[in-house]
Structure 1
């Protein structure tokens, strides 16, 4: 009997040690999954990868493969009659189609614009992200309004062309919110809602804008939300994380910021099934950067943190330096990043959407 107890104790000890070792190995292996190196996969571009419009400034894009087998983008446009700075008052969201995720794309239609006075999204429709969940398409966007104020023509021009801090430009800026339009088809019609999706709360203040959404592996949804960092003498952009059980919410902002003190905007976020971790790419004012998280809540710089400086290389050997390079979006197909899409502002003041092919990983 005594020998049996000793044997049982030894076996239990061995089992416990084995389980502890296995757990340590699992944690170690999980830590080592941060292997994504987008910078090394960036390819040179051709004219087919550049999407311009003769009558508007194109700004960024969000790519999705439709039920028709083609690739669709939803992208922001600022019409020439209003100028590039009119994104906050007169932006529209358009739809274009291609046989390849890297282009060339052909404009199809305008799908969203401001709905006018009396709506939360009265003036603009800007910075779209398109997603497909459970048989429906979700087109996330930002918009704004002037509350109960009706602006005169001169006041509207100040809102349209003014600088940060100008009375009416500031009014439309601080009323920015995130919304979503829903459709059963990539071609619409799109149903909008009476209220925005999410209001600012700590760790961000003043605005909610530039949404980035992904489905969580354990159920529910995660959204990056850009707002202003509180208690700052000058503007510092910050990223919060929000969670919801449905693509339409209700969304709850978590108290911990995703990026910390870094001035950042335009995130794109996804869950990498192969590496069992989240990644997010954002514009860090001087370069594009990537952070990572195992749970979607606690974020840190990825091993390969810097993705690209604000320039790109063409197949003809020319290097193109951009006045601004923003709105990063990674198109992922079958779990593999295929295209890095960005918005380019030329020094001439014109802008276009760029689709940078990524080498298969």
Structure 2
């Protein structure tokens, strides 16, 4: 297990005053005035977590346990597979710490690819942990052929964070019919229980023809988000007639987004995501909604690491997303966000790890 000394080494964080100055400078220089969400003003960098030699670590989803500790469910895959290994060799693991800042101790691998014949044969990825109706729900993505066209959302459940986990024999949500906006896949699950008692599942997808037509572009897509609703947690989930409920394609320039995280606070739906062309490829987005279907125009939710004064060594040639924060997930206490957990390339292992920011 990493010691706290080891954990702190390699963070390469400037003093907080410098971090705040860097944040202010990034706001004033790089992006238009008025483009930042109030959410962004409360973030302060803490540092990296789960730096695992020999692995890429991604998709860090945290939750407070009954033991008062912080439990994180995260994706990891062998470093030998490179950054793209998430698609054909990721597993979902469980780690625990006394504090959000860590250090974290690996507990076990919860879900691993099951091999030929299963819908999640080649990868298990995109974990999002939730406590729903007294049981722990691990929403995730699996695929059957190591490619994007078999990505499907699934749901594993357990009575405790230590398991045992009941693994689904079938996906929770399937793509739409041929030529539909969501005919390619279902992935990046974001879940919220509606005040009316329904179960709302947001999912990312795109159209296969659009995806193929975008070969050679910086971003292939166009990624959009749909909503599926069920009267029972286990489904069936029925796709909303207004889908896609979030679609940036009308802005032009191949603008899109991914990695949505949804929660309810102050009587509204709130959403964090990774920007893919609305402002830039480096920032996060914040949207909110009264009804969960019609969303505000996005504002910037968080910056790349340099915006917080975080200094890193020069990027290795193998890391093309160096310095970005991706896969935002919140640590909630009594429904209120307290920490933002993201994934970011780099760190002591020279691969990727979690990165934590505190909300003040």
Smaller-chain TM-score range?
A: 0.7 to 0.9
Aligned to 2:193: 215
| Matching residue of 1:251 | 237
1:146-179, Cα deviation, whole Å (9 max, x unpaired)? 3xxxxxxxxxxxx5xxxxxxxxxxxx21011011
Aligned-residue offset at 1:319: 4.2
Whether the 8 Å CA contact 2:112–2:123 is kept in 1: the answer is: yes
Q: Deviations over 1:229-255 (max 9, x none)?
A: 465221211111111122221111223
Q: What SS does the corresponding residue of 1:125 show, helix, strand or coil?
A: strand
The structure showing larger relative contact order (alpha-carbon pairs under 8 Å, at least 6 residues apart) is: 2
Partner of 2:33: none
Q: What TM-score, normalized by structure 1, do the two folds share?
A: 0.76
Query: Deviation string for 1:74-93 (max 9, x for gaps)?
Result: 00001124333111111110
Alignment TM-score, normalising by the size of structure 2:
0.76
5 Å-filtered alignment, 1:168-183, equals 172-183=147-158
Structure 2 residue 91 is the aligned partner of structure 1 residue 92:
yes
Q: 2:79, 2:351 within 8 Å by CA — same for their partners in 1?
A: no
Q: Supply the distance in 2 between the matched residues of 1:250 and 1:358 (Cα, whole angstroms).
A: 36
Q: In the alignment, which residue of structure 1 is the partner of 2:124? A: 125
CA distance in 2 between partners of 1:211 and 1:306 (Å): 21
Which residue of the other structure, out of 292, 317, 323, is the alignment partner of 2:288?
292
1:19 maps to which residue?
Answer: none
3-state DSSP of counterpart to 2:185:
strand
With 71-80 and 325-334 compared, the bigger mean Cα shift is at 325-334
1:136 paired residue number: 135
Aligned to 2:9: none
**For structure 2, which runs of at least 5 residues remain unmatched after alignment?**
1-35, 215-220, 250-254, 313-320
RMSD (CA atoms): 2.2
Structure 2: distance between partners of 1:258 and 1:291: 12
- Which has more radius of gyration? 1
What's the CA shift for 1:187? 0.5
For the pair 1:267 / 2:245, whether they are aligned, the reply is: no
* Distance of aligned partners of 1:141 and 1:247 in 2 relative to their CA distance in 1, 3 Å threshold: same
Distance across 2 between alignment mates of 1:89 and 1:111: 17
Q: Is the 8 A contact 2:190 2:261 kept in 1?
A: yes
Q: Deviations over 1:73-130 (max 9, x none)?
A: 0000011243331111111101000112232322111111111111111111111001
Gaps of 5+ in 1: 1-34, 147-158, 160-171
Corresponding residue SS for 1:291: strand
From 210, 226, 233, the counterpart of 1:240: 226
State the distance in 1 between where 2:181 and 2:84 align: 28
Change (3 A) 1:200 1:117: same
For residues 13-162 of structure 1, the aligned pairs below 5 Å read: 37-46=38-47, 49-146=48-145
Q: Secondary structure at the match of 1:94?
A: strand
Q: Alignment length, in residue pairs?
A: 293
Offset of residue 267 of structure 1 = 0.4
| 8 Å CA contact 1:126, 1:142 repeated in 2 | yes
Deviation of residue 264 (structure 1)?
0.8
C-alpha displacement at 1:353, in angstroms? 0.6
Contact conserved, 1:278 with 1:296, CA < 8 A, in 2? yes
- The CA deviation at 1:281 is 0.6
